[in-house]
Amino acid sequence: MSVDGETFGAWSLRLRNDAGLNQVELSRLMGFNQSHISKIERDEKTVTADYAIAFARAMNIDRGVALAKAGLDDEPMTERSEELAELKSIFEQLSDEDQRMLIDTARAWLQSRERTKRKDGKLKPA
């Protein structure tokens, strides 16, 4: 979707470049894989609220701005955002060391899924 003459993809690419980040670095900050980011930036994939919010957090911008740029409403809470809020609450109760271990485990799991996807040409269910 194009808002103010610039698509979310073009806008996010411009902001990422301005921040000096490559797609892999942004993917680590957002929790989305690099190929997903690439498709968004090329306007080949629809932007979801989860993606826009993750992008806003990674780029340290207001989520409402990102959601508006994507043509999405800033709804108070969706089912997914409630789950994310619960996850965040649990995460914040962990020690710094346990938080790092959980992040490392999640990254390893994502990398494993990416390898499976590349090997088989599709993503297998977890």
Give the three-state DSSP class for 66: helix
Q: Where are the domains of the chain?
A: 2-69, 79-120
CB 77 within 8 A of CB 86: no
Read off the pLDDT band of 126 (50, 70, 90): very low
**Class (C level, CATH) for 2-69:** mainly alpha
Q: Is 92 a residue whose pLDDT tops 70? A: yes
Q: What is the tens place of the pLDDT at every residue in 3-41? A: 467 999 999 999 999 999 999 999 999 999 999 999 999
Alpha-carbon span 66 to 73, nearest angstrom: 10
